[in-house]
Amino acid sequence: MAKKKMITKDIYRALGLRDDEYERILKILGREPTKTELAMFSVEWSEHCGYPRSRKYLKLLPRKGRYEVLVGEDAGGIVVGDTAIIFKMESHNHPSQVEPKQGAATGVGGIIRDIFTSGARPVASLNSLRFGELTDPYTRYLLRGVVDGIQFYGNCIGVPTVGGEIYFDDAYQGNCLVNAMSLGIAKREDLARAVAQGTGNPIMYVGSKTGRDGIGGCSVLASAEFGEGDAKRPTVQIGDPFTEKCLIEATMEALKTGYIVGIKDMGAAGLTCSSSEMASAGGCGMEIDISKVPRREEGMEPWEVMMSESQERMLVCVKKGKEEEVAEIFKRWDLEGVVIGYATDDKKVRVLHEGEVVAEMPTACLTDPPLYDMPYEEPAYIKEVRRFKPSNIKEPSDYNKVLLDLLASPTITNKAWVYEQYDHMVQVNTAVYPGSDAAVLRLKGSKRGIAVTTDCNGLYCYLNPRVGARIAVAEAARNLVCTGAHPAGATDCLNFGNPEKPDRFWQFKNCVESLAEACEYLNIPVVSGNVSFYNESPNGPIFPTPTIGMIGIIEDIDKRCTANFKDDGDLLFLLGECKDELGGSEYLKRIHGVKAGDAPECDLEIEKRLQEACLELIDKGAIKSAHDCSEGGLVVAIAESCISSEGEEKGAAISVPEIGFRKDSYLFGETQSRIVISCSPRERERVKKIASSHKIIASEFGKVGGDSLTFEISDKKVINIALKDLIKAWRGGLKKYVS
């Protein structure tokens, strides 16, 4: 190894390492690291892999719930009956901002590998997206590119994209968010682990060849803010969904043989992460010879091979003597399958290149990154936004116009332009399609269904991180409940600004603490997750956005419930209460251009009772539709139930007595813990009885039917819109903004 001093400050800083971290590396090794070693440390200790800044708070997240919880190396899950449901959400924000199509595509590919590397066949994907305003041409380019990337990858690999959400706000201008979630199914006993074990067991490289794409993707691109005029495109990986599809099938086949000791995908930091983490998880060492790694480019340096984030590759530890059989399976699918090393007993990762040792270090030091206690302080803007006085907002004179404007606004409007580009039906499990509160999948061979959703309102989290994060959990659970599913488990994707800045870290700390409390209260384990810091551009930080992905279980899928009204003459009830809350609403933002106030309150005790009431109503077959009130408030929720099912649109007539506060706040305020339900008239008493047994107010306030939506407050019509005009405003959807 080199004796002369080779590593300068510029070199390690360019890799994202701090001065004190470099000092620590010198101490661990007792010498100067090689370039390859330095590269390995830089990725393993980056926030993306090692969570040095966030770990302290991530430990707070609960791991227990209704069902047995599995926390694996790459993803986690729950066990229902003898079925393991494995799921995880991950960000691909920076790559998507730089190169939207490939950034989003490889985000999908990466999260899907995290699922099938655990032995679970991926059965569904979701995407939670945030962009700047669509008035900006670059935002439109991003939206088109991201959706194109998701459809390009997701459709080809045959995993349905069944749901997700999209928000538009200036806060994401310059730094969009692309959070991809995937879930998979396996028999409990068929799960695989990401370990290397058994001295002498061969380590195989399978999948695609290695190139120079994505070098430094996680340590450089994902671990710094966007500055002006950056040229980071070469750090984005290129996706090949066809190869991934073959890799899924080959991996599933290989796992069935029983010859696989452990398997891990090469995601962030490629070979570096997979080799050291498999060795560390298995409590052993590993020696690999990277001259044996299949390449698609000539002349790659050892550190480039170790750092490459070329896609569609896995590392596999195989039972000794079975390497030929395993290689045969991958070759049958026209994939690479070569032995590049073996497990050792010295607890060291040793990397050879053409007979020379280019890296050698204890596995423990790589997978035991530093832990920082980051300083935090309340940001100055908090006091500013709390000064908001609703009395300064003039009540509109034409509520029809407000409703139509909201229904046509980018965040609320119909998203068919997006989800119709995604194959959301392949694998023939989708029983509730995108566009409802949550997607529902049937579980083949059982009566059960799985409901799945993602949620987070970043504006709420900006105004009040504690309440905003609580609402993200409560609303995700409520979405599931509206389909009849019991919330069973969550994954989180924590998108924040630069953690080195105390005001940003204050947002992070408060959001995560609150997430933990809310999940604990609602008995929802957080089984997996991802942290994405440094989401800032010259425009400033994004809204704090702790996206929640959540799954729920429906015991009898035939009882599933949807959001749309079903039959003329059905009664409408509101479960829950309306309060005078305007802060953080889409109405304030879109109609008045104000992003201020406080987030709406969210009382978890009420929320829990509301959800239990709704679940009982659905389970007993008392109601025909359920839809929660979220962005746009009560009237938008009702309008969506009127028109969300194409070709089966229904009118509705609502009448409420004197409300005692501002009409706009009643109609469009975003008070939490409310669900609009409909039922047959003969179920009236049963609905009231069930609701009251959970101490939830169920107010009958209207009827389904007619060819318009009308809303009366103390006998005065404030809204009266023909169904066809509602449809026109909403169904035009995102298409009109992007084409």
Partner 1 sequence: MKFGVVVFPGSNCDHDCYHVLKDALGQDTAYIWHKDRSLDGCDCIVLPGGFSYGDYLRTGAIARFSPIMNEVEGFAKKGGIVIGICNGFQVLLESGLLPGAMRHNDSVKFVCKFVNLKTENIDTPFTNRCNKGQVLRIPIAHGEGNYYVDDNTLKALNKENRIIFRYCDKNGEVTPDANPNGSLENIAGIVNKPGNVLGMMPHPERCSEPVLGFVDGKLIFESIIGWLRKR
Part of the chain binding partner 1 (CB under 8 A), chosen from 360-368, 416-424, 591-599, 649-657: 416-424
Q: Which residues pair with 70 in a beta bridge?
A: 77
Fill in the per-residue mask, 130 to 169: x = in contact with partner 1 (CB under 8 A), - = not in contact: ---------------------x---xxxx-----------
Minimum Å gap between C-beta 421 and partner 1 is 5
Asked whether the beta carbons of 146 and 176 are under 8 A apart, the reply is yes
Rank residues 167 and 419 by Cβ distance to partner 1 and give the closer one.
419
Q: Which is nearer to partner 1, 82 or 556 (CB)?
A: 556
> CB neighbours of 630 closer than 8 A, spacing ≥ 6?
457, 475, 637, 670
Member of 180, 557, 626, 690 binding partner 1 (CB under 8 A): 557
User: Which range touches partner 1 (CB under 8 A), out of 322-330, 412-420, 544-552, 653-661?
Assistant: 412-420
Q: In angstroms, what is the minimal distance from the CB of 436 to partner 1?
A: 12
Query: 3-state DSSP call for residue 565?
Result: coil
Using alpha carbons only, give the angle 450, 451, 455 rounded to the nearest 5 degrees.
Answer: 145
Identity of the residue, 80 or 246, whose beta carbon is nearer to partner 1 in the bound complex: 246
Q: Which two tokens stand for residue 652?
A: 């509705």
Q: Binder to partner 1 among 172, 422, 462, 711 (CB under 8 A)?
A: 422
246 binds partner 1 (CB under 8 A): yes
Given 197, 427, 539, 655, the residue binding partner 1 (CB under 8 A): 427
Report the residue from 89, 361, 402, 431 that binds partner 1 according to the rule CB under 8 A: 431
Total chain residues near partner 1 (CB under 8 A): 31
CB of 144 to partner 1, least distance (A): 10
Burial bucket for residue 174 (CB in 10 Å: 0-12, 13-18, 19+) = buried
| Identity of the residue, 162 or 365, whose beta carbon is nearer to partner 1 in the bound complex | 162
Contact 481, 578 (CB under 8 A): no
Residue from 9, 59, 242, 321 that binds partner 1 (CB under 8 A)?
242
Nearer to partner 1, 14 or 425 (CB): 425
> How many CA atoms lie less than 13 Å away from 503 in the CB half-sphere?
11
**DSSP-assigned letter for residue 33:** P
Looking at beta carbons only, is 303 or 417 nearer to partner 1? 417
Q: How far is the CB of 56 from partner 1 (least distance, A)?
A: 42
Distances (CA, A) of 379 to 172, 240, 388, 463, 510: 18, 43, 16, 11, 12
Tell me how far, at minimum, the Cβ of 566 lies from partner 1, in Å. 13
Q: Of the candidates 9, 444, 620, 695, which one interacts with partner 1 according to CB under 8 A?
A: 444
Choice from 197, 421, 523, 699 touching partner 1 (CB under 8 A): 421
**What stretches of 117-239 adopt beta strand conformation (E)?**
121-131, 161-168, 177-187, 202-207
Query: Where in 630-659 is the site for partner 1 (CB under 8 A)?
Result: 647
User: Is position 92 an interface residue for partner 1 (rule: CB under 8 A)?
Assistant: no
Q: Let me know: does 177 contact 266? Beta carbons within 8 Å.
A: no
By beta-carbon proximity to partner 1, the closer residue of 117 and 151 is 151
Report the residue from 68, 334, 356, 377 that binds partner 1 according to the rule CB under 8 A. 334
Binding segment toward partner 1, per CB under 8 A, in 337-345, 418-426, 470-478, 603-611: 418-426
Q: Rounded to whole angstroms, how far apart are CA atoms 109 and 116? A: 11
First CA to last CA distance, the chain: 58
Closer of 420 and 517 to partner 1 (Cβ): 420
570 near 626, Cβ under 8 Å? Answer: no
430 touching partner 1, by CB under 8 A: yes
Amino acid sitting at position 524: I
424 is catalytic: no
| 463: helix, strand or coil | helix
Q: Which residue in 488, 431, 400, 418 sits closest to 709, CA to CA?
A: 400
Shortest gap between Cβ of 648 and partner 1 (angstroms)? 11
CA distance 119 to 538: 42
Beta carbon nearer to partner 1, 163 or 583: 163
Cα–Cα distance for residue pair 235/220, rounded to 1 Å: 8
- Residue count of the chain: 739
CB of 410 to partner 1, least distance (A): 19
Q: Which is nearer to partner 1, 416 or 697 (CB)?
A: 416
Helix, strand, coil % in the chain, rounded to nearest 5 = 40, 25, 35
Asked if 426 is part of the footprint of partner 1 (rule: CB under 8 A), the reply reads yes
When the beta carbons of 244 and 683 are compared against partner 1, the nearer one is: 244
Applying CB under 8 A, among 167, 205, 330, 333 the residue interacting with partner 1 is 333
Q: Which stretch binds partner 1 (CB under 8 A): 427-435, 464-472, 673-681, 724-732?
A: 427-435
* Among 222-230, 237-245, 491-499, 609-617, the segment contacting partner 1 (CB under 8 A): 237-245
Residue showing tokens 């009830």: 573
User: Does residue 351 interact with partner 1 by CB under 8 A?
Assistant: no
One-letter amino acid for residue 576 of the chain: G
Cβ proximity of 325 and 194 under 8 Å = no
Contact between 313 and partner 1 by CB under 8 A: the answer reads no
CB of 417 to partner 1, least distance (A): 9
Contact between 558 and partner 1 per CB under 8 A: yes
The one catalytic residue among 92, 424, 486, 694: 92
* Radius of gyration of the CA atoms of the chain, in A: 26
* Two tokens, residue 498: 């630069």
Output the smallest distance, CB 113 to partner 1, in A. 17
Number of other residues whose CB lies within 10 A of the CB of residue 475:
26
Q: How far is the CB of 8 from partner 1 (least distance, A)?
A: 44
118 binds partner 1 (CB under 8 A): no
Token pair recorded at residue 527: 């089984």
CA distances (Å), 614 to each of 341, 376, 476, 477, 576, in order? 56, 40, 14, 12, 11
Residue 297, judged by CB atoms within 10 A of its CB (0-12, 13-18, 19+), counts as middle
Catalytic residue at 48? yes
CB of 414 to partner 1, least distance (A): 13
Exposure of 17 in the CB half-sphere (CA atoms within 13 A): 27
Is 102 near partner 1 (CB under 8 A)? no
Minimum separation from the CB atom of position 643 to partner 1 (A)? 16
Question: How far apart are the C-alpha atoms of 119 and 260, rounded to whole Å?
Answer: 11
Residue 562 structure tokens: 């949807």
Alpha-carbon gap, residue 451 to 557, rounded angstroms:
10
Q: How far apart are CA 178 and CA 103, in angstroms?
A: 9
- Residue 53 or 245: which CB sits closer to partner 1? 245
Is 175 strand, coil or helix? coil
Binding site for partner 1 (CB under 8 A): 151, 155-158, 240-243, 245-246, 333-334, 416, 419-428, 430-431, 442, 444, 557-558, 647
- Catalytic residue numbers, as ranges: 48, 92
